Chains A and B, each alone.
Chain A
Amino acid sequence: MNFFEQIGRFFLMLKLAFTKPEKGSVLWGSFITEIYKIGISSMSLVAILSIFMGAVIIIQTDANIDSPWIPAYTIGFTARQSIILEFSSTMLCLILAGKVGSNIASEIGTMRLTEQIDALEVMGINSVNYLVLPKILASVFIFPFLVILSMALGIAGGGFFAVQAEIVNFQELTYGLQYWFDPFSITYSLVKTVFFAFFIAAIPSFYGYYVKPSGGALEVGRAGTKSVVISSVMVLVINLLVTYFLLL
């Protein structure tokens, strides 16, 4: 299958996914389960990453500002901008693309391999709708919360470390963190995140769903790797596009 056929197939899958579900209550149940699997179970990873990266960003900023002419509050300001604009959305989603993506691809791929998808189809269930739609919806719903959590913990963790390590004092830090704050920067990040979330769920679903059963477990592994690579590239492309259109 060439590249364009794959894209065509991807959109056909989305068309099948976004149809009316067999039963609303079943979709709702799967949606809640997926929020747990995709979102809640990623919270500790998000927390650890954000606190550590927040601290590193502060140290980096301080290390690169050596001139006495640059005021100390610049540290808080710059760290805030890095965390909100790029780290907590793009970098975090890249990491989640790995975790969530390989998870989704192997789950759906295994279902293909073990004929669970055939079992759904024989029953007369639209298996794409049943399996893929709740993952996409849950991902789009929960990712923005993960990103907000990451922003808060990144800034709090970094700030706490900066004050403890006497990189900057508390007044200068909080002044810097509030300096020239534009709420649109958060909107911008969350808009990106919604797009990221969509593809981070949809691309692995696609590769998992179309695993060749004859290829066995090896093929499921390959689907996982492929979907992580493709969805990561997709995150970078979307980042560029959204940034271009919203900030330029």
Chain B
Amino acid sequence: MIQVKNIDKGFSGVQILKDISFTFEKGKTNFIIGQSGSGKSVLTKCIVGLHEVDNGEVIYGDSVFSAMNKKDRKEIRKEIGMLFQGSALFDSLSVVENVMFPLRMFSKMSKSEMRDRANFCLKRVDLINKDDLFPSEISGGMQKRVAIARAIAMKPNYLFCDEPNSGLDPKTSIVIDNLIYEITKEYDITTVIISHDMNSVMEIGENIMYIHKGEKWWEGDKHSIVTTDNKEIGEFVYASKFMKSLRGKL
């Protein structure tokens, strides 16, 4: 479980996040949704500590992460896996080396144990016989899979996914969404997914927060989001013709 309490964040005088509170539940897919530029990535970076919050608290389990020093944070960081928008695989390392990277950095495993663990993770994301290829040699969907494998290599308790579907075709998007969902259930982890894609929300969303211009406007599950009478959220949910055609039927 991750709690954020009354978070404010600004850059050089411009306030981006205003008084955001939310609870990301364990064993569930928690979504942060909202339009581009609404502050989803900034919020996520505040939660993982890539940005410092101006006010408020970030709490992992019962540890107040935002008040910790670098050394203590490191222990929590080892429990965090993160999937970045552009995959953020290390270009100079092969597929299997990318997955082994956190193990090589932090575990005391032998080389063959690392390789076994990496292969297990790659198999879990259905990527086999691609070990020695480089990130530039595989498709965007495969890169996402490698990034997921790297994120789960250290058996994290928290998984963050920043727009896991960006740049993917609809079919691959659904495969990746379901993979994230299965992993969340299988390992009972707290998963946080940033998205502006209603398809993903309808596919796997369980606990959803909607942010608008840096403020939390709404929270709930996917059943209630399609029936809310809030005008802005309605416009977001029913932005596409396809969703419009389903209005009232969901």
Interface residues of A (CB under 8 A from B): 22-23, 26, 33, 110-111, 114-116, 118-119, 121-125
Contacts and interface: CB of A to CB of B under 8 A. Distances in A.
B185 interface: no
B105 A22 contact: yes
Contacts of B84: 115, 118-119
B102 A123 contact: yes
Nearest to A30: B92
Interface of B is mostly: mixed
Point out which of A22, A111, A115, A124 has the most chain B C-beta atoms below 10 A from its C-beta: A124
Interface string B39-79: 00000010011100000000000000000000001100110
Contacts of A122: 48-50, 77, 80, 82, 160
Interface string B78-93: 1010101110111110
Interface of A is mostly: helix
Given A23-B105, A122-B82, A116 B88 contact: yes
Contacts of A124: 73-74, 77-78, 106
Contacts of A121: 50
Nearest to B73: A124
Contacts, number: 48
A115 B86 contact: yes
Interface string B136-156: 000000000000000000000
Contacts of A123: 77-78, 80, 102, 105-106
Contacts of A119: 82, 84, 88, 90
Contacts of A116: 88-91
Given A23-B105, A121-B50, A122-B50, A114 B77 contact: no
A123 B74 CA distance: 8
Contacts of B49: 122
B50 A118 contact: yes
Point out which of B50, B88, B91 has the most chain A C-beta atoms below 10 A from its C-beta: B88
A124 B73 CA distance: 8
A214 to B, nearest CB: 11
B91 to A, nearest CB: 8
Contact of A115 (B73, B88, B92): B88
A46 to B, nearest CB: 24
B104 interface: yes
Contacts of A33: 92
Contacts of B82: 119, 122
Given A123-B77, A124-B73, A124-B77, A118 B88 contact: yes
